[in-house]
Structure 1
């Protein structure tokens, strides 16, 4: 008999070692380290998370 699959299966997992200062900054701002890193990665790709936690393009101001 096979095991039931978990409901959430991340497609990509990355283990990152961060400095204690990064953890302290996250705690001071109320953000989790995971959320901070996800946000930075999204910004590097020209994306952001909307209120529904979906990735959408960054708003580019008119020149």
Structure 2
């Protein structure tokens, strides 16, 4: 897995827990998950923007 052994992974996880704390870790994980999900959604959407004017029947002008 990316050239990392179990010792390196445990060390990285330990540092992350020290930095963020055990209580903040779920919030950080869910925020990261939402960010990845939004990035995937944005990258899969079409690049074109619809600029056609919408027909509104309630216009008084």
Same structural fold, with TM-score higher than 0.5 when normalized by the shorter chain: no
What is the TM-score when the length of structure 2 is the normalising length? 0.29
What is the TM-score when the length of structure 1 is the normalising length? 0.28
State the structure with more CA Rg: 2
